[in-house]
Amino acid sequence: MTALKMVSAVAKRSLDRAAADALRQAIVSGEVLPGTRLTEMEIAAQFELSRGTIRAALQRLMGEGLIVQRPYAGWEVVTLNSHDVWELYTLRASLEGLAARLAARHPDRRARMEIAFDVLKAAAASGDGREITEADLSLHKTIVSLAGHQRLASQYEVVGQQVRMFMASSNAILPRAHSTSSGEILMRHLEAQKHTHAEASEPPKSGSR
């Protein structure tokens, strides 16, 4: 591949990602609702990009579970049923449990968790539903990010996007009591796990066998 072709390929991938980012945000924020049909031609015209670039962006979102491709109908924002939601929340809880156990092994990272928890408590005191929801999601994401487990974080990101899409489309704003108790459970779990390593061993050093 020539240098010019390599630059062209990189630029195209960058456009793919930019289009996917914009579409993803519209979906998870509830701006584009479940069941909405997505037409490559219309999106390409709106973004002033080629249909090929938009198709690549849509395929990326399909891989993240945010949209589906219907035979003879095109692309559509995924609609979650009650079982889908159950799967998402139980999977998210499992990932968060592992993240909490791993993060608890690093007391030096606890300050960031406590800051995020304080933000959640302040949001709960304000009574602003959306602020509570965002603070709750932020606390959970902070704990996952501090676990030091990249594959876990990647899986959590995909699940988290689908959860946010469901919450935005269904107005499923977390009640004040639920959000704070959820955060308290995670923080207590972190405290309990601080001095135990029974369920997770240290990751191997790079290059070790």
User: Residue written as tokens 């020539």?
Assistant: 2
Residues 6 or more apart whose Cβ sits within 8 Å of residue 42:
none
Q: Where in the chain is the domain with CATH 1.10.10.10?
A: 14-77
Rounded Cα–Cα distance for residues 14 and 87 (Å): 32
Mean pLDDT of the chain: 79
Rounded Cα–Cα distance for residues 139 and 117 (Å): 6
Per-residue model confidence (pLDDT) at position 184: 54
Per-residue model confidence (pLDDT) at position 199: 45
Task: Return the CATH architecture of domain 82-193.
Answer: Up-down Bundle (1.20)
Mean pLDDT of 100-129: 83
Q: Where in the chain is the domain with CATH 1.20.120?
A: 82-193
Give the three-class secondary structure for 196: coil
Tell me the CATH class for 14-77.
Answer: mainly alpha
Per-residue model confidence (pLDDT) at position 116: 86
Least confident among 47-56, 105-114, 124-133, 166-175: 166-175
- The reported pTM is 0.71
Whether the predicted pLDDT of 49 surpasses 60:
yes
pLDDT digits (tens, 9 = 90+) for 10-46: 355 688 899 999 999 999 988 899 999 999 999 999 9
Rounded Cα–Cα distance for residues 122 and 6 (Å): 50
- Percent share of the chain, pLDDT over 70: 75
Per-residue model confidence (pLDDT) at position 151: 96
